Amino acid sequence: MNILLDKINFNDLDRTVIFLYGNDVAARDLPLKRDELAFLDGKRKDDISSLVVFNRLPHKIYVQNFNSDLPNNETLETLRRNAAELQLLLSKEKVQRVAVTGQGVIPEEVVAFVEGLAMANYRFDKYKAKKDTRLEEVVIEKHIIDQEALDENIRLWQRIDTMRDWVNEPVIYLNAPRFADILNEQAKGLKNVSCTVFGQKKIEALKMGGLLAVNRGSVDEARFVILEYKPDNRINKKPVALVGKGVMYDTGGLNIKPDDFMTEMKSDMAGAALMASTLFAAAENNLPVWIKAFLPLTDNRPGKNAYAADDILTMFDGTTVEITNTDAEGRLILADAIAYAAQDKPELIIDAATLTGAAVRALGTKVAAAMQQDADGPMKLLLIVADKVFERLAPLPFWKDYDELLKSEVADLINCNLHANAGTITAGRFLLHFAHGCPYIHLDIAGTAFYSKRESFYGTGASGFGLRLLYAFFQMYNVLNNKNA
């Protein structure tokens, strides 16, 4: 979708126009006749979020009412969701070109609305013969926002679409070696970004017991990808380490999933897609933050010499782990990656993973679970931006008491709590062991990464959830860095 700035002429419309009507707009500023204004006023009084349509054949004017007196984050989220509903209507009406304007609106309100349009406009339809009509061009009234600010947002929205493509792609076309190759190719095109890919022999030499074990049932080799974005004007003396779960497809291994739980398991690499996309987005918009991403990639299959319950693994850092469930594989590959990242004592480690069904049962699909150890400041900042961009987080307790549920009689740890209690928290506590004292944040995005039914502007399938959140976090990271200096 092409997004550009231009002047909109209501006397000679060359496309459908969307007019945003908040609480601070004088009626005389609306491009409507007196009877139309009266009709609009009645609709607005009945429903302050209503959409009102006026014909200007062959085009239309859509007036999107909204309540600009809500808290700022609620206003912006409402605009995104309004845009998603309108995008559906425009698609049905085969509209491909629109203009967006308003009077009395502020730039971030217009950006939020266009963001909703852009994200709702996404479709993963490369394998469909008949495709939906999508918006091809959006013009924004040029007095509302400057080009540089718009370009930054456009690059972020394009990166979200690419991330969603990765998560939506079936494993038959996107396995671990192929994904590593794609990441390497994309890194080559970005300034100050490097990519290192460890193949099977290197992973074996490093003795990454978790990644190797999960990979044993697969015919595809594992990969371990390290991305680094190191700008010249970086504000942090040590990098922030991002670790993402990259299970390209999860059958559950020998603890195989029932069929109704196995669909959508192509999305089990959403954490790796998110962390790679965050680093790339930071580089594309020249954020002054040093970031490294550590991405363990494999699928989890029950074939060949697949690892089994009762196995005891020796992890990269020497920790021994008794396997109680082969479907708790994500934490095994993450553990090796976190331990590897912790070697150089980064400023902060953040991991993201579609890790536990317990997170979905506890929190639903509109919020991700968050836990932290020794990272009070970064977590506070993350929660602030989570509310601002409305990709919200639910902080869970992370007490040491939960470690009792991970004790093994025959190894240092078990990989999965044998009881249903505190499954999301104990998974996080398992991973914390491998951070070796580094400030640590764990994000369980199991409920938010992929939707089986349409969820507003996140659509159906891969949502892209988390990228706006982490990008906003790194936009503000200099505030935290300067405060701690």
Cα–Cα distance for residue pair 82/225, rounded to 1 Å = 39
Residue 99 token pair: 């203009």
Residue 212 token pair: 């190797």
Instruction: Please calculate the CA angle 375-319-353 and round it to the nearest 5 degrees.
Output: 50
Q: Work out the angle between the directed axes of helices 147-168 and 270-284 (0-180°, nearest 10).
A: 160
Cα–Cα distance for residue pair 370/430, rounded to 1 Å = 14
Cα–Cα distance for residue pair 269/280, rounded to 1 Å = 17
Determine the 3-state secondary structure of 353 from DSSP: strand
Cα–Cα distance for residue pair 65/40, rounded to 1 Å = 9
Active-site position among 43, 97, 257, 345: 257
Determine the 3-state secondary structure of 274 from DSSP: helix
Number of H-type helices and E-type strands within the chain: 14, 20
Active-site position among 292, 331, 392, 429: 331
Determine the 3-state secondary structure of 405 from DSSP: helix
257 given a catalytic annotation = yes
331 given a catalytic annotation = yes
Determine the 3-state secondary structure of 148 from DSSP: helix
Q: Single out the residue of 35, 43, 471, 67 nearest to residue 240, CA to CA.
A: 471
Sign, CA dihedral 378-384-386-388, equals negative
Residue 365 token pair: 């699909």
Active-site amino acid positions: 257, 331
